[in-house]
A and B are shown apart, each in its own frame.
Chain A
Amino acid sequence: MVAVAAAGASGVSTAGSGSAAAPSGPDTSPSTVGAPASSSGAPFAALTVTPDGAQSYDISTGVTTLPDGGTVIDQDTGVRLHAKRLTYVDGAYIDASTVTVSGAFGTLTADKLHIDVPKAVLTASGDLALTRHALRLTAVRLTYDAGRQVADFTGPVTGAAPDFQASRLLLDAASGNVLLVGDYRYASGPLTLTAPEGGGRLELKLHQVNGSPVYDAATDVSSELLARFAAELN
């Protein structure tokens, strides 16, 4: 197991059993590489990497490669990432392919994933799908600001539940509330809502009905949600 810790803004300490500049043999034992620099709860501040097979470490570049994939767990947020192939540089980034990420925001699958560790920003693309509570969607690209817990899906974004299509979707991963932006279509029973010419915004607000999470739609978007997504909308 390897711990990839972000120390402060850029300091990264790495420890592990990888060999320098040469592929090592299989080492699937979980290991922690270094200790978290802090327990502040900042995203990607304390990652534990568990390879599924071989891993190599390029001592000249500091790049660790897990060609057989592995699992990355954010100890603070509980985010769990599993990929068929992983490449990372301690404290800098993680690249993964054929990846499944699960956490409070739901379960995400994608062909490609990149985590900018210092910025705490996750981007994913390729056969992108998200499942969480009452929300199931597919999209072309995702940018997730882990610090603000805001996911920005671009598309076309297609929802299976609720039934919608949108050129862009913003997700408040903390509350689960959603904002469809631009050209959208939303369907509920016999109703099919279409954005006005030139685009519009539709809020999908998550709440519980009889113990089950459901979304309600509203074109009159709440000021709280607009403030939440102010950075994305500006």
Chain B
Amino acid sequence: MTLAVLGGALAQAQCRPPATATRLTIKGFASAYFQQFRTDTEQNSAELYGGVCLIGADHAWTLAADRVSVSGLQGALRVTAASPTLSFQGWSATAGSLDATSQTLSLGSVELTGHGVSGTAETVRLDLASGALELTAIDLHGAAFYLRGDSATLSGDRLGVTAPSVTTCHCAGPPLYRVDGASAQVAVQGQRIVLSGGHVVVGKLEVPLASPVTIDAAALKALTLPLTIEDVTGDAVSGTPAAGLEVLLTHLGLAPGIYAQLGVAGLDAGHPLAGIALLRGGGHGTSFTFGEAPGGMRYEETSDQAITPWFDAGFDTRVLEPGNRDTLREGVLHARLHTGVAPLHGSAALAMFAAGSSQQPSTGEVAGARLGARASIAAATPPAPWGHLSLRLGGEASLYPDQRASQWGVDVQPGYGLRAGPLDLQVSYLARFTDGGSPFTTSLDRLEPVERPSGSVTLAGALAPGWRGSARLAAQIDLVGNSSVAAGVNQLDVSGSLTRSVGAWQLSVSGDAVLAGIVTPNGARDGYLQAAVGASRGDLALGAEARYRYAPAYVGLDLLQVSAAVPIALPGAVVRPYLALDLAPTVTSGALPTISGHGLDLTLPTCCGALKLGYRDDGGTWTVSVAVDLQTHMAQASSGATCPTRARATPTIADPAAAAPVCAAGSDGTGIMTGAATGPPL
């Protein structure tokens, strides 16, 4: 209703009839204002001419034309016009022709503008009853993208496109890349496209993408590169082996819902070189992984389907063969009942499973059936000025018929939380009681006793104009030890930071103290004290950092680092090298400083946006990045151009002959894109 009213107001604004105009009501269709009118009874028609303005009967649309013909006065109504302009829900469609009935408006050879977008469509069809707008052969051009599609439906600024083809490139020749797909949902106002069944097309190369994939300025600015470089240190609890330096292509799309991961691990000294080849996929509650990874072959398949809003069921199958050691093979059927418990501000769940498992730990093979059930309930008090209390209770029992064994466990976890302004306080106590009766290991299902108080307190916020600060204290104590953790203080972290803006400079000071390793020297974590200062202005960044380590093997200064990242403008590119030197060896032993970090960022202006590539190795922590900055792209493109703030040309990528200057305003008026539309169609 509101939409209709707003639409009506907009429609009136788009086509304001002069007071001297004659008014014609076309029953059930529109009101028309014009200068002249005549009927032709022999042809059963009428003609309106001299600045005709049609306003839909529902006031949702207007149509302006020099001349409008109305036929079928004694039968099926038909309205035709040449060169009409339709205004509808913020869109303006100037067409070669109009052919309308009392149910639909059909436009041919349409030029569309609205919501920061302009372009063309072969036809536009407006269903007067539903308000649905259907378009064919669209070719749209926004501040951030070009979009082409076989057909589309439009509702407000939401465009559903079939067979879309998208690019952010505005190149003199063919676009460097485009993304084709099966369908797309476009939030035109936000210049955001969510594309399904997509694949990137670069020249002759087509690479399938994850589905769905989002294309907008933010997504392009923070692209997730399908490549990771990391030092995999391993995790004893999860059984992840230490693979060393690993380079992995994380997402090589093969087909909708199926992708491959390829890579190499153990590139550094001390780890065996190993290949990674995994096939992954999934969708609709299922997923699978199959292939070779460091540690051995693996096959995992899971399915979890919501049968009803309160009942899920599924199955898992796993085969993990980490080098014929700790091999796990199992199949699990599981079902879960769950519900919210509003009076308790919590939830309750009951899960049951039946599994056949085979494990080969170092102590020998264990194989057999597992049958079990788990129940849990969580409750809390409503948030109050004094905070809130919470309690989680859980219990589980498992039977191992082949081993004539059983296991039970009970979890009790009370907690308290308080959020008040900049203060966030969380305290909890986890107690787990169990007989640890599982014949399998803890990596599968064996439970171990836990008595663990933990808590954290955080203060964060603005301290004064230009100043922001934060401080955090977090602690965790294990009162009983088990195979994973030793008894004692296993977390005692203190950290704080302060930032200040001085003109264009951002200054920062931070400090961290990891004290658990000091309080509990044999704990899992080394202790250290660390302090850092930094200053940045745009892409220029300077920093200094010192760390004093308390480890069983070493106590003393182990890092005294100075670092700098300095942007350098080159013809056609901006490079930003990064270098960090560790002066600790010099201070402690008179040795030469060592390079503790290095990196390089490269910004290349392209016709698809400013392409930013970079890598950084910060003390063995590798990051690689790629981004496309459309804002930079648009700002650079607009420099030196004479575009007015409003679009004066609306070329399409399907019109290579449209060599007229291109100038389209961004939806927020901040960005424009310029150039000459001389490229061939997508």
Give residues in A with beta carbon < 8 Å to B. 188-198, 200, 209, 214-220
Contact = CB atoms under 8 A, between A and B. Distances in A.
Interface in B645-659: none
Contact of B38 (A189, A192, A219): A219
Contact of B73 (A190, A196, A198, A200): A190
9 contacts: A188-B46, A190-B27, A191-B46, A194-B22, A196-B20, A216-B38, A216-B41, A218-B38, A219-B37
Interface residues of B, number: 24
Contacts of B342: none
B26 interface: yes
Contacts of A197: 19-20
A200 B77 CA distance: 27
A214 B43 CA distance: 12
A220 B28 CA distance: 26
A190 B22 contact: no
B22 A217 contact: no
Contact of B37 (A193, A198, A215): A193
Contact of A190 (B19, B21, B37, B77): B77
Contacts of A217: 37-39, 46
Given A189-B73, A190-B28, A216 B39 contact: yes
B23 A193 contact: yes
Contact of A193 (B19, B24, B40, B74): B24
A192 B39 CA distance: 12
A220 B37 CA distance: 7
A178 to B, nearest CB: 13
- Pairs A-B, 6 closest by C-beta atoms: A189-B73, A218-B38, A190-B27, A192-B25, A214-B41, A194-B23
A194 B41 contact: no
B528 interface: no
B522 to A, nearest CB: 92
B22 A200 contact: yes
Contact of B39 (A190, A194, A218): A218
B670 interface: no
A193 B36 CA distance: 11
Contacts of A216: 38-41
A217 B38 CA distance: 5
B39 to A, nearest CB: 5
Contact of B42 (A193, A198, A209, A218): A209
B29 interface: yes
A191 B42 CA distance: 16
A55 B413 CA distance: 122
Interface of B: 19-29, 35-42, 46, 70, 73-74, 77
A33 to B, nearest CB: 46
Given A194-B22, A196-B22, A217-B37, 14 more contacts: A188-B39, A190-B77, A191-B73, A193-B22, A194-B25, A196-B19, A196-B23, A214-B42, A215-B41, A216-B38, A216-B39, A217-B39, A218-B36, A219-B37
A209 B24 contact: no
Contacts of B27: 190-192
Given A216-B41, A220-B36, A192 B21 contact: no
Nearest to A189: B73
A189 B23 CA distance: 16
A216 B24 CA distance: 15
Contacts of B38: 216-220
Nearest to A208: B42
A190 B102 CA distance: 11
Nearest to A195: B22
A227 to B, nearest CB: 19
A193 B29 CA distance: 14
Contacts of A192: 24-25, 27
A127 to B, nearest CB: 30
Contacts of A195: 22
A191 B71 CA distance: 11
Contact of A188 (B28, B42, B73, B77): B73
A127 B596 CA distance: 109
Contacts of A218: 36-39
A214 B36 CA distance: 20
Contacts of B24: 191-194
A216 B47 CA distance: 11
Nearest to A215: B41
A219 B36 contact: yes
Nearest to B23: A194
Contact of A209 (B23, B29, B41): B41
A191 B25 contact: yes
A194 B35 CA distance: 12
Most interface-central of A188, A191, A193, A196 (chain B CB within 10 A): A191
A217 B73 CA distance: 13
Contacts of B22: 193-196, 200, 219
Nearest to A210: B42
Nearest to B24: A193
Most interface-central of A196, A198, A216 (chain B CB within 10 A): A196
B74 A189 contact: yes
Nearest to A134: B41
Contacts of B23: 193-194, 196
Given A196-B20, A197-B19, A220-B36, A191 B41 contact: no
Contacts of A220: 36, 38
A191 B22 CA distance: 13
Nearest to A203: B38
Given A217-B37, A217-B38, A219-B37, A191 B20 contact: no
B218 to A, nearest CB: 51
Nearest to A214: B41
B40 A191 contact: no
A120 to B, nearest CB: 34
Contacts of A196: 19-23
B263 to A, nearest CB: 70
Contacts of A198: 20
A95 B103 CA distance: 57
A160 B243 CA distance: 96
Contacts of B42: 209, 214
Contacts of B28: 190
B528 to A, nearest CB: 85
